[in-house]
């Protein structure tokens, strides 16, 4: 998980055509288009969008991001499918929704991995959208630091799910306290609600 988050932050400053400032509007349009494919209601379209997203992630050399997101989403899908099989509610619509979810997830991962915050700041100024995007980056850096500090204290993250519970409880508490500090800092600089 730590490597996946670090990879996403590192990729923001790569040098490909997708990282250029003028590509911001086409990337935003692609996010809107990917969100709108939900109305098409065809799993083949969702799979095609997933394939395009994975090829674009491979183009920017986000192989670790592809691998990590596929593993995490596969676990998520396996749990949902298992619950649906046990309860007898597994339908074609569930599989379509899961593939649509992965298509939008990979699209957003692609956007995050190819868009440094200063591109958004240049286009939108210091708006709520830009601040939220910068907050996501800051939160990812904080999560990586939390995982590193837990590992330095002897936490072994493997297939046992119980050590993850400790990390998952720590992350929201630390992020909430950091957000309060950021909020106070922004208010002291004159940014209003």
pLDDT digits (tens, 9 = 90+) for 105-119: 999 999 989 988 888
Domain that holds residue 86: 2-115
Q: Looking at the structure, tell me whether residues 137 and 107 fall in a common domain.
A: no
Query: What b-and-e string marks burial along 137-149, b requiring 16 or more CB atoms within 10 Å of the CB?
Result: bebbebbbebbee
Q: Judge if pTM exceeds 0.75.
A: yes
Domain boundary among 100, 115, 130: 115
Q: Looking at the structure, tell me whether residues 171 and 137 fall in a common domain.
A: yes
193 found inside a domain: no
Domain count, the chain: 2
Apex 38 CA angle, 35 and 39, nearest 5: 120
Q: Looking at the structure, tell me whether residues 111 and 69 fall in a common domain.
A: yes
Q: Looking at the structure, tell me whether residues 138 and 106 fall in a common domain.
A: no
pLDDT classification of 2: cutoffs 50, 70, 90: low
Domain boundary among 115, 138, 164: 115
Q: Is the pLDDT of residue 30 over 80?
A: yes
């Amino acid at each position: 998980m730590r490597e996946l988050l670090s990879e996403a932050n590192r990729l923001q400053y790569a040098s490909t055509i997708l990282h250029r400032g003028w590509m911001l509007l086409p990337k935003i349009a692609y996010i809107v288009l990917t969100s709108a494919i939900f109305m098409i209601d065809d799993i083949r379209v969702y799979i095609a969008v997933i394939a395009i997203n994975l090829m674009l992630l491979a183009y920017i050399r986000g192989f670790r991001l592809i691998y990590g997101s596929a593993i995490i989403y596969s676990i998520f899908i396996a749990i949902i499918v298992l619950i649906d099989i046990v309860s007898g509610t597994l339908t074609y619509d569930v599989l379509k929704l899961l593939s649509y979810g992965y298509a939008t997830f990979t699209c957003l991962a692609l956007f995050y991995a190819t868009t440094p915050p200063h591109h958004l700041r240049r286009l939108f100024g210091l708006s709520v959208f830009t601040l939220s995007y910068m907050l996501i980056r800051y939160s990812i850096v904080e999560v990586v630091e939390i995982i590193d500090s837990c590992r330095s204290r002897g936490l072994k993250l493997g297939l046992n799910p119980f050590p993850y519970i400790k990390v998952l409880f720590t992350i929201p508490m630390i992020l909430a306290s950091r957000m309060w500090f950021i909020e106070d800092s922004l208010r002291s600089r004159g940014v209003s609600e």
